Structure 1
């Protein structure tokens, strides 16, 4: 994984001087310096671009993004970080230190349970506190750890979660594909958080990307959604690596999903597995055999429904 920032000649010299004590690597074409700092390789080019590659690329780049006049309203806001996994998408330099509402969803690929979407506002004043929670790499946290962190997020940060339960999901799905349902959910929670923080406005909104920007807004227009959030909206995959607000939203969504799955499992009288594998087919077949209405527990358009029926027959 990597990040590239654009800096001025004086900033480039400052970065080079900072890393002079680090092990020097072989210089690529056009490079002024290339060094190793822990698990991150930093390479500065004559063009003014500095590349950060490795396990802590985002954190190391953030060290210099605050030094490049990179707040949203400065003249240098054209400096960008380019994410190598999303052609055409860019996140402004210094973004990790902005006041941002981040949103993420879970459950879209699971047969049983809800589609859960959360949004969280992390102001620049709260970034240090949120970082201390240890959520910067939220995807690697265990469920138990997320359960410990979620109450802290709920108590201290403006947030909103929507839990699209299977029955409502099944009502909406025939006219809305899963990505359209995601878009509707993201727009809903973002509006809720924007209302909660009024009269404050965030520097930006970051959506953990599941569709191209144009497609996302097309989904909302087709669904005739009111109050479409458009201003200062950014999209990128692995959004938690770019701002802690997405990491916080991911944790909230996951914990709500887990709690909901526990409740649904109690109602079903058996453990409902998360996912869409063969174990799901077997449990769905058992529920069908018992005459249970799966609309209450599952997303019926999944292929698992037919697979379960085949098991019974």
Structure 2
């Protein structure tokens, strides 16, 4: 499921609320409104952050970006030495870099793992031989098999946010800011681990504008921004990101297995109707505490599950 977060002012928020008035659904905690339109769920928060989730998330968000602050217009930021644009240098795929990616942010159930992998050019052949490629082209069994081998072969850092921790943090910040801080934290851990080695670059799978990412981490004590590049679908641009995605996906699947065992109900990935039905069962059996333990409760699935639980 595609996802995008933008920051808007009060004037645009008012226009947005009016525009989506006929598409409103049950609001989630801490939100101004939640609407569903064009296969996309739109959730606006009092902070001015708006989360777009669904098949047409980026397209729907772009309708509002052009109306908002200059820094968000057209969804493009000017290239800089610290936070690069989405264009990559020639032969970038051959560089020795750190790749960073997160998994699980679009799934109602399960954790949010962020992984960073250092892939020197000397290891590229090994990664290919292990089957490293875009994780979207791998099934769960392949993910598990490759990830277990990767963890013994590459230098990597991992940060896993459980649903309980996620639900503690989420009311205080947007998901975009949370992910930015997690990426920065994970990159710091890996850079410390590989010191004194200096990668030629860092590539983050882009989930928001580079300028927004930089703003999100500006209060962090240490900010990793030098030679950082951002690119959507970065898994196909460098093996380091593909490897990071595979390891992150593996730990997301592990969290689903562990949480399923805890509640005695098989938890699905994603945020579709199946998640609503499973959430309703958990709510009937354990109440809201059960959902807080297993799911990201600010998703619209929570309210849908509560409604289903009464049927």
Question: 1:172 aligns to what?
Answer: 169
- How many angstroms apart in 2 are the aligned matches of 1:103 and 1:89? 14
Q: 1:138 and 1:283, CA in 2 relative to 1: closer, same or farther beyond 3 A?
A: closer
- What secondary structure is seen at the aligned counterpart in 2 of 1:187? helix
Q: 2:261 aligns with which of 262, 266, 290?
A: 266
Question: 2:121 aligns to what?
Answer: 124
Question: 2:252 aligns to what?
Answer: 257
1:88 deviates by 5.4
Question: 1:302 aligns to what?
Answer: 299
Task: List per-residue Cα deviations over 1:240-262 (Å, max 9, x = no partner).
Answer: 11110000000000000101100
- How many angstroms apart in 1 are the aligned matches of 2:87 and 2:98? 17
Q: 2:198 aligns with which of 197, 201, 211?
A: 201
- What secondary structure is seen at the aligned counterpart in 1 of 2:286? coil
Residue 157 (structure 1) aligned with residue 160 (structure 2): no
Q: 1:111 and 1:138, CA in 2 relative to 1: closer, same or farther beyond 3 A?
A: closer
Question: 2:236 aligns to what?
Answer: 241
Aligned residues: 225
1:129 deviates by 1.3
Q: 2:211 aligns with which of 209, 214, 217?
A: 214
- How many angstroms apart in 2 are the aligned matches of 1:88 and 1:99? 19
Q: 1:289 and 1:137, CA in 2 relative to 1: closer, same or farther beyond 3 A?
A: closer
- How many angstroms apart in 1 are the aligned matches of 2:138 and 2:293? 29
1:272 deviates by 0.7
1:237 deviates by 0.8
Contact 2:86–2:232, Cα closer than 8 Å, also in 1: no
- How many angstroms apart in 2 are the aligned matches of 1:306 and 1:213? 33
Task: List per-residue Cα deviations over 1:149-204 (Å, max 9, x = no partner).
Answer: 11221111110111100111011101111111111111111111101100001000
- How many angstroms apart in 2 are the aligned matches of 1:312 and 1:166? 21
- How many angstroms apart in 1 are the aligned matches of 2:213 and 2:182? 11
Contact 2:85–2:210, Cα closer than 8 Å, also in 1: no
- How many angstroms apart in 1 are the aligned matches of 2:294 and 2:134? 31
Question: 1:182 aligns to what?
Answer: 179
* Larger relative contact order (CA 8 Å, sep ≥ 6): 2
- Taking structure 2 as the reference length, what is the TM-score of the superposition? 0.70
Question: 1:227 aligns to what?
Answer: 222
- What secondary structure is seen at the aligned counterpart in 2 of 1:205? strand
Task: List per-residue Cα deviations over 1:81-134 (Å, max 9, x = no partner).
Answer: xxxxxx952101111111100011111111111111111000111112112222
Equivalent residue runs for 1:36-75 within 5 Å: none
- How many angstroms apart in 1 are the aligned matches of 2:100 and 2:92? 15
- How many angstroms apart in 1 are the aligned matches of 2:163 and 2:141? 25
- How many angstroms apart in 1 are the aligned matches of 2:205 and 2:211? 15
- How many angstroms apart in 1 are the aligned matches of 2:270 and 2:134? 22
- How many angstroms apart in 2 are the aligned matches of 1:114 and 1:142? 19
Task: List per-residue Cα deviations over 1:222-245 (Å, max 9, x = no partner).
Answer: xx2221101100000111111100
- What secondary structure is seen at the aligned counterpart in 1 of 2:296? coil
